[in-house]
Amino acid sequence: MLLGKVTGSVWGAKQAENLAGYRIAAVRPLVFSGAAEFREDVDERFLSDTLVLAVDRIGADTGELVLVAIGSRVRDLVAGEDCPTKNCVIAIVDKAVIGM
Amino acid sequence: MLLGKVTGSVWGAKQAENLAGYRIAAVRPLVFSGAAEFREDVDERFLSDTLVLAVDRIGADTGELVLVAIGSRVRDLVAGEDCPTKNCVIAIVDKAVIGM
Amino acid sequence: MLLGKVTGSVWGAKQAENLAGYRIAAVRPLVFSGAAEFREDVDERFLSDTLVLAVDRIGADTGELVLVAIGSRVRDLVAGEDCPTKNCVIAIVDKAVIGM
Amino acid sequence: MLLGKVTGSVWGAKQAENLAGYRIAAVRPLVFSGAAEFREDVDERFLSDTLVLAVDRIGADTGELVLVAIGSRVRDLVAGEDCPTKNCVIAIVDKAVIGM
Amino acid sequence: MLLGKVTGSVWGAKQAENLAGYRIAAVRPLVFSGAAEFREDVDERFLSDTLVLAVDRIGADTGELVLVAIGSRVRDLVAGEDCPTKNCVIAIVDKAVIGM
């Protein structure tokens, strides 16, 4: 499970059955660069260069902080058993407090 | 399974069913920077910049050292079968001795 | 699940049963280096040095952007239960918009 | 599965049921820094800064080279079905030969 | 699944039941450092410093390029259900073509 900022979206052309209809969010994980309290506005220096892709059934907007979980069970619970990926947005974050 | 220091908490706004009621802890993994014996006071140079998020049913306070396990079975044992993440705090660490 | 560019192919000589007949694509994941909109032409500075290998049943050409999912279920859905790897190309990407 | 050197131990205070009674070993993975043959004495420059934690039922001493496997099946085989982690020491290494 | 070069072997002394009889190969993953076509001779600058360990039932020699898959199913198919690790060599590579 990771905490990250939604920074974009991906659209498929030719794709596996069952992927149609899912919004694919691109998420940059937070890294630690000193104590901070986050709501929505996350400074660039707190964001990793890595991109994690996840299906989003919750409706997170670009710029929002989210929790992304990775696993079969979460996929079944959140996106359905036939979804061909197990990376899922499970929460839009209201507040994150990271200390030293 | 990783050893890390609890450095914060995350609160969800809109979130997956079954995530409500879980405390989400933000944990920074320990990295090796020379032999040491840790109880609670972990120096900044022993902490990774990465943030790992985990559900905490044990009640770890910010600043405490914990073990975080990742897996379906541990989730079932520690947090319940319907918990939509498989990262779990499984122990508050009393002592960690890391040598060369 | 990751977003990457197909940059090559791998052919096995002596190999596990059931791997015969699969095209193995070599994929370089995208990393973030500033906001961009991608279709097919991905600049070198947006690509990681890591190589991820995945079976491709969709027919992605070298140079195309793809989504690669990793998991047992996706393997069953996309490549069949006896395929001895669970990294699968699940979509050829039409458009990816990555912001700040 | 990784190859690493046991560099310490961790003791839990408050912990998940079923974790009591397991020795938790702290292991630093080997990285490549030129061809070498290892028995027990592994030079600092061959060790990663990362710490991997694993249950040890084999009795590896600090300083010994071990193989750590990660998975549900290995946990069932080596540590028991109720062990709340799936990182396990599966071998004390007698000899490792790493070439160019 | 990763593409790497076999660079050595590991022998266990005291080890988990069922691990006896398996050859444990040490593999260095390929990283991208410019377009290339590989058969057996892989230059040092294309190899990661990381070591991945895998059981080898195919008989890869040191110096050969291999595909390593990670998962329960591949272990069952390639090494048997009681093998206490799920990292397996699944192919000796005949040719790998990696472009820009």
DSSP E29-79: EBB-SS-EEESS---GGGB-SB-EEEEESS-PPTT-EEEEEESHHHHHHHT
Confidence of residue B18 (pLDDT cuts 50, 70, 90): confident
pLDDT of A43 above 90: no
pLDDT of E40 above 90: no
| CB within 8 Å: D69 and E86 | yes
Substitution target in B5, B6, B9, B10 with the highest count of A β-carbons within 10 Å is: B10
Q: D78 by DSSP, 3-state: which?
A: helix
Look over chain B and give the mean of its residue pLDDT values, rounded to a whole number. Answer: 91
Confidence of residue D14 (pLDDT cuts 50, 70, 90): confident
Find the closest chain B residue to D88 by CA distance: B1
**Over residues B65-94, mean pLDDT:** 92
**Over residues C47-64, mean pLDDT:** 94
pLDDT of A45 above 90: no
Residues in B touching D20 (Cβ below 8 Å): none
Predicted confidence at residue B36, as pLDDT, reads 87
**Rounded-to-integer distance, Cα E91 and Cα C89, Å:** 19
| CB within 8 Å: C53 and E71 | no
Nearest to E1 by CA among E30, E33, E35: E30
- Structure confidence by residue, pLDDT tens digits, A84-94: 899 999 999 99
Substitution target in B77, B83, B88 with the highest count of D β-carbons within 10 Å is: B77
- Out of B29, B33, B78, the one facing D84 most closely (by C-beta) is B78
| CB within 8 Å: B32 and D7 | yes
Say if CB B54 and CB B8 are below 8 A apart.
no
Confidence of residue B32 (pLDDT cuts 50, 70, 90): confident
Which contiguous run of DSSP H or E holds residue B6? strand B2-15
Q: Given the cut 0.90, state whether the ipTM is greater than it.
A: no
Confidence of residue B66 (pLDDT cuts 50, 70, 90): very high
pTM: 0.90
**Over residues B52-75, mean pLDDT:** 94
Q: How far is B39 from chain A (nearest CA, A)?
A: 16
- Out of D73, D91, D100, the one facing E19 most closely (by C-beta) is D91
pLDDT of D85 above 80: yes
Predicted confidence at residue B92, as pLDDT, reads 95
Longest CA–CA span in chain B (Å) reads 46
- Distances E3 to A83, E29, E98 between C-alpha atoms, Å: 27, 6, 11
Structure tokens belonging to residue D94: 């007698």
pLDDT of D16 above 90: no
**Over residues D8-22, mean pLDDT:** 88
Q: What does the CA dihedral D22, E14, D77, D14 come to, rounded to 10 degrees?
A: 10
**Over residues E65-93, mean pLDDT:** 92
Enumerate neighbours of E (3 or more CB pairs within 8 A). C, D
Find the closest chain A residue to C32 by CA distance: A49
Say if CB B77 and CB B53 are below 8 A apart.
no
Q: How far is C77 from chain A (nearest CA, A)?
A: 7
| CB within 8 Å: D96 and E72 | no
Residues in E touching C64 (Cβ below 8 Å): none
Residues in C touching E94 (Cβ below 8 Å): 11-13
pLDDT of B24 above 80: yes
**Which residue did the predictor score with more confidence, D92 or D40?**
D92
Give percent above pLDDT 90 in chain C: 60
Is the Cβ of E45 closer than 8 Å to some Cβ of chain C?
Answer: no
Predicted confidence at residue B13, as pLDDT, reads 87
Predicted confidence at residue E91, as pLDDT, reads 95
